[in-house]
């Protein structure tokens, strides 16, 4: 690992406790998932982004979803994460049937057990790096003292220990993405969804981000990554290739 | 932390926030002024009417005080009759007349003159000297200042003016016993008061008064007293302060309408300003809001942040508007009180803490609530689409 530090003890302890309390072998189970955009929910009247996707993701996997633009990768990620609702089919996330949860319960599930990393970082520009990381912890009810300590540990972990009080506009793209990763794992999630996490970064910075993902996965975080980056696809343990709203291949990456 | 982010967002857009605060501040100032104007004159007039402890007026039937030339005859008997009404502590007769100030054998200026009972009067507060005896008068401050006269000096007053010759008729000299602050005078008004009997004598209005002011006993109810007076003297009209202010309200209905219309406009402008700024802010932060939702922040928590933004803007603007409004009210009062015939002691703009607080609270509350609609729209937007839109 070039710049990433050791995963914070708190995160590892949290994971151990989480696994003991609620062991989940299958993190995601999707069956017959369809997603149609447009005024009509039928495939004939709208734009079909997903055409009957079945996928199972096991705990501790690092899965990369690849495919050409518009093939439905991001839509699948959003549906599996409970951000978008499927037009048809079922999605089980961490043992919860998302179709049976209301928005409040889905939000709570995302807050406590899921992390997100976006292509454009999506940090709050008016908050400092540390505050951005503290935000999900504050919403989860973590005490101020604990979240301060953990945010500093996480900033050290992503190699930004000296940037605690910097705001996103004062950080480079790579630094912002590292803060976003720290935010994603702040509540010790079981799974992290990443949508083109290196899409806005140069190759050197991308490599640093990949190191962080590797480290997280090595410590037991399940990763599901949508990417065009062949390096991510190479580093993932499993690659799902999509085309035209369908999975066309699913297996280990070519090394 | 959500609230902190919202407040920092306002600081982040300093220019826009300052402009919004200035706009809301000016609207709030106008709202404060209109609230003060809506009931200011009534409150102020009521306070003035009660100032000397004589809140009840008894006048010739069907007339308001000094509303006509009509007088009450057999004043001494009526006065005695009023004193005997249960609950009456004191009766102050007043006769209004016009005398002329005589200077160098020419009548230079008409003076409003009041005949009063020096032992029971409610027209003025003595600034210096004492109540008038026979052939003595109390002059108003502006008159004393204008003529350079003081207690002990003598002035000549005439009852009539020969228009053809421009000369006074029936003039007599009076010693100044005191200088008074005449409560019902307009700014700078020159007037005098002298004993009732003397004024009745020189004007030929024997045993006549223009009105009686009645002071109730400490435990007497004002409205009940008016009813008893009306029963005891049905040929006269009796008014409580409430009746008088109601009559004033009726006459000055246009002030209330004006203040209602302008107050509503300022209220609307302030609300629109807050709504516009918050809506722009929400629209700009559409992606941020989507991110917050995506990472699991509950919708109501996001909404709180948006509401706090509206609340901060409207409360900040209101705080700014309050001193501006009070300053404007003072300036406008000074201008309006220069109009002739308006007692200098009244005020068009009276600070009624409860009314002003209610208006400001309503404005701040509405300001906060206007954030709910754009907030709800942002929260209702499909999350996946919102994130994609932000990424694009």
Residue-wise pLDDT for A180-234, tens only, equals 999 998 998 999 999 988 888 788 888 888 888 888 898 889 999 998 888 888 8
- Identify the pLDDT of residue A255: 59
Q: Do A104 and B299 touch (CB under 8 A)?
A: yes
Burial (0-12, 13-18, 19+ Cβ within 10 Å), A90: middle
Q: In the predicted model, what is the mean pLDDT of chain B?
A: 87
Strand partners, B139: B179, B192
Average pLDDT over residues A111-126: 89
**How many other CB atoms are found less than 10 A from the CB of residue B65?**
21
Contacts of A112 in chain B (CB under 8 A): 296
Q: Does B16 touch chain A (CB under 8 A)?
A: no
CB atoms within 10 A of CB A179: 27
List Cβ neighbours of B219 (8 Å cut-off, separation of 6 or more).
B87
Per domain, the residue ranges of chain B are 2-48+251-391, 67-239
Query: Helices B353-369 and B14-50, interaxial angle, to 10°?
Result: 150
Q: How far is A199 from chain B (nearest CA, A)?
A: 11
DSSP conformation letters of B176-241: EEEEEEETTPBTT--EEEEEHHHHHHHHT-TT-BSEEEEEEPTT--HHHHHHHHHHH-TTEEEE-H
Q: What span, in angstroms and rounded, lies between the C-alpha atoms of B263 and B272?
A: 14
Q: Do B384 and A75 touch (CB under 8 A)?
A: yes
Q: Chain B contacts of A107, Cβ < 8 Å?
A: 293, 296-299
Predicted pLDDT at A4: 44
Q: Which residues of B touch A184 (CB under 8 A)?
A: 295
Q: How many CB atoms lie within 10 A of CB B323?
A: 12
Instruction: Give the rounded distance of the alpha carbon of A221 from its chain centre.
Output: 10
CA distances for B95 relative to A19, B65, B101, B211, B245, angstroms: 99, 11, 18, 7, 22
The reported pLDDT for the residue numbered B40 is 81
The answer to whether the CB of A122 falls within 8 A of the CB of B291 is yes
Average pLDDT over residues B59-78: 83
**To which residue do tokens 């009210």 refer?**
B329
| Amino acid A201: pLDDT | 79
- Please tell me the number of Cα atoms within 13 Å of B22 on its side-chain side: 6
d(CA B29, CA B329): 9
Å between B313 CA and nearest CA of chain A? 18
Architecture in CATH for domain A9-22+60-72+103-251: 3-Layer(aba) Sandwich (3.40)
Give A114's contacts in chain B (Cβ within 8 Å): 296
Q: Do A139 and B1 touch (CB under 8 A)?
A: yes
**Among candidate residues B98, B124, B102, the one with its CA nearest the CA of residue B111:** B98
Contact flag B299-A103 (C-beta cutoff 8 Å): yes
For the segment B153-161, the average pLDDT, to the nearest whole number, is 89
Burial of B164 (0-12, 13-18, 19+ CB in 10 A): exposed
The predicted structure's pLDDT at residue A193: 95
**Confidence label for A254 from pLDDT (cuts 50, 70 and 90):** low
Q: Do A135 and B297 touch (CB under 8 A)?
A: yes
**What average pLDDT does this structure show over B242-267?**
83
Q: How far is B282 from chain A (nearest CA, A)?
A: 13
* DSSP letter assigned to residue B120: B
DSSP of A182-242, one letter per residue?
HHHTTT--SEEEEESTTTTS-HHHHHHHHHHHHHHHHTT-EEEEE-S-HHHHHHSSEEEEE
Confidence (pLDDT) at B198: 93
pLDDT for position B1: 84
User: Which of B290, B298, B388 lies closest to A107 in CB terms?
Assistant: B298
**Partner A contacted by B228 (CB < 8 A):** no
For position B353, what pLDDT does the model report?
A: 87
How many helices (H) and strands (E) would you count in chain A?
8, 10
Give the 3-state secondary structure of residue B13.
coil
- Whole-number pLDDT of residue A135: 94
Residue B320 has pLDDT above 80, yes or no: yes
pLDDT over 70 (residue B301): yes
Mean pLDDT of all residues belonging to chain A? 85
First to last CA, chain B: 27
DSSP B340: T
CA distance B17 to chain A (A): 15
The reply to whether residue A122 touches residue B296, judged by beta carbons under 8 angstroms, is: no
Q: What is the average pLDDT across A135-144?
A: 93
Residue in B287, B288, B295 closest to A110 by CB? B295
Lowest mean pLDDT among A95-109, B69-83, B94-108: B94-108
Q: What is the mean pLDDT of residues B109-135?
A: 92
> Testing the interface with A: which of B297, B300, B384 to mutate, by most A Cβ within 10 A?
B384
Which of A32-41, B55-64, B68-77 is predicted least confidently?
A32-41
Strands A114-117 and A191-195: parallel
pLDDT at A3 over 90: no
- Which one, of B275, B269, B307, B262, lies nearest residue B24 by Cα? B269
pLDDT of residue A1: 36
Instruction: Write out residues 119-148 of A within 8 Å (CB-CB) of B.
Output: 119-120, 122, 124-127, 131, 134-136, 138-139
Mean pLDDT of the B325-346 span: 86
pLDDT of residue A209: 84
Is the dihedral angle over the CA atoms B195, B201, B205, B208 positive or is it negative? Answer: positive
Q: Are B313 and B21 in contact (CB under 8 A)?
A: yes
Any chain A CB within 8 A of the CB of B299? yes
B59 close to B118: Cβ distance less than 8 angstroms: no
Interface of A with B in 83-112 (CB under 8 A): 83-84, 103-104, 107-112
Annotate A56-79 with b (16+ C-beta within 10 A) or e (fewer).
Answer: ebebbbbbbbbbeeebbbbbbbbb
**Does any CB of chain B come closer than 8 Å to the CB of residue A3?**
no
Q: Are B169 and B160 in contact, with CB atoms under 8 Å apart?
A: yes
CA distance B51 to B63: 22
3-state secondary structure B151-170: CCCEEEEECEEECCCCEEEC
Residue B390's pLDDT band (boundaries 50, 70, 90)? low
The mean pLDDT value for B291-319 works out to 89
In tens, the pLDDT along B200-236 reads: 999 999 999 999 999 999 888 889 999 999 999 899 9
Asked if the C-beta of A1 comes within 8 angstroms of chain B's C-beta atoms, the answer is no
Chain B residue whose CA is closest to A185: B295
Q: Beta partners for B186?
A: B343
ipTM of the modeled complex: 0.84
Contact yes or no for A35/A197 (Cβ under 8 A)? no
Residue B363: per-residue pLDDT: 83
- What is the three-class DSSP state of A17? helix
HSE of B274, CA atoms in CB hemisphere, 13 A: 34
Q: What is the pLDDT at residue A21? A: 36
Q: How far is A218 from chain B (nearest CA, A)?
A: 23
């Amino acid at each position: 690992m070039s710049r990433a530090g050791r995963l914070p003890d708190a995160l590892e302890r949290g994971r151990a406790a989480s696994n003991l309390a609620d062991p989940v072998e299958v993190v995601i189970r999707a069956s017959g998932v369809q997603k149609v955009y447009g005024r009509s929910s039928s495939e004939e009247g709208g734009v079909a982004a997903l055409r009957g996707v079945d996928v199972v993701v096991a705990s501790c996997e690092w899965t990369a979803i690849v495919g050409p633009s518009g093939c439905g990768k991001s839509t699948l990620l959003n549906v599996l994460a409970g951000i978008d609702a499927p037009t048809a089919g079922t999605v089980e996330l961490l043992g919860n049937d998302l179709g049976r949860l209301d928005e409040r319960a889905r939000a709570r599930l995302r807050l406590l057990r899921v992390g997100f990393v976006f292509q454009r970082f999506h940090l709050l520009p008016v908050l400092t790096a540390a505050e951005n990381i503290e935000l999900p912890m504050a919403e989860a009810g973590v005490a101020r003292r604990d979240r301060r300590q953990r945010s500093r540990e996480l900033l050290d972990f992503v190699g930004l220990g000296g940037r605690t009080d910097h705001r996103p506009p004062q950080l480079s793209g790579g630094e912002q993405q590292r803060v976003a990763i720290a935010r994603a794992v702040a509540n010790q999630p079981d799974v992290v969804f990443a949508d083109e996490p290196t899409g806005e970064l140069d190759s050197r910075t991308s490599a640093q981000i990949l190191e962080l993902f590797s480290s997280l996965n090595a410590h037991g975080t399940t990763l599901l990554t949508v990417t065009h980056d062949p390096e991510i696809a190479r580093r993932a343990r499993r690659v799902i290739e999509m085309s035209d709203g369908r999975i066309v291949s699913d297996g280990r990456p070519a090394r | 932390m959500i609230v902190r982010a919202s407040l920092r967002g306002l600081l982040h857009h300093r220019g826009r926030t300052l402009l919004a605060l200035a706009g809301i501040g000016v609207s709030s100032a106008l709202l404060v002024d209109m609230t003060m104007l809506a009931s200011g004159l009534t409150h102020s007039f009521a306070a003035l009417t009660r100032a000397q402890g004589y809140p009840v007026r008894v006048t010739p039937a069907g007339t308001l005080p000094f509303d006509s030339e009509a007088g009450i005859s057999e004043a001494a008997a009526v006065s005695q009759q009023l004193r005997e009404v249960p609950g009456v502590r004191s009766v102050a007769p007043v006769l209004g007349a016009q005398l002329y100030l005589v200077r160098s054998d020419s009548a230079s200026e008409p003076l409003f003159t009041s005949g009063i009972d020096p032992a029971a009067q409610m027209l003025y507060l003595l600034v210096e000297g004492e109540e008038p005896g026979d052939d003595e008068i109390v002059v108003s401050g502006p008159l004393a200042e204008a003529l350079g006269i003081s207690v002990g000096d003598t002035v000549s007053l005439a009852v009539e003016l020969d228009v053809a010759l421009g000369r006074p008729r029936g003039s007599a000299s009076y010693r100044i016993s005191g200088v008074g602050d005449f409560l019902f005078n307009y700014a700078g008004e020159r007037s005098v008061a002298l004993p009732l009997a003397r004024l009745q004598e020189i004007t030929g209005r024997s045993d006549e008064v223009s009105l009686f002011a009645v002071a109730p006993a400490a435990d007497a109810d004002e409205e009940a007293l008016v009813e008893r007076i009306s029963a005891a003297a049905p040929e006269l009209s009796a008014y409580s302060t409430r009746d008088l202010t109601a009559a004033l309200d009726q006459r000055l209905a246009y002030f209330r309408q004006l203040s209602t219309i302008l107050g509503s406009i300022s209220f609307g402008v302030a609300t629109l300003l807050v709504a516009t700024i918050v809506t722009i802010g929400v629209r700009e932060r559409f992606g941020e809001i989507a991110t917050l939702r995506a990472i699991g922040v509950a919708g109501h928590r996001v909404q709180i942040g948006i509401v706090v933004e509206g609340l901060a803007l409207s409360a900040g603007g209101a705080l700014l508007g309050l001193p501006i409004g009070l300053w404007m009210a003072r300036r406008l009062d000074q201008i309006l009180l220069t109009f002739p015939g308006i007692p200098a002691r009244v005020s068009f703009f009276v600070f009624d803490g409860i009314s002003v607080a209610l208006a400001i609270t309503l404005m701040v509350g509405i300001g906060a609530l206007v954030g709910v609609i754009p907030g709800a729209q942002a929260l209702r937007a499909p999350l996946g689409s919102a994130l994609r839109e932000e990424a694009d």
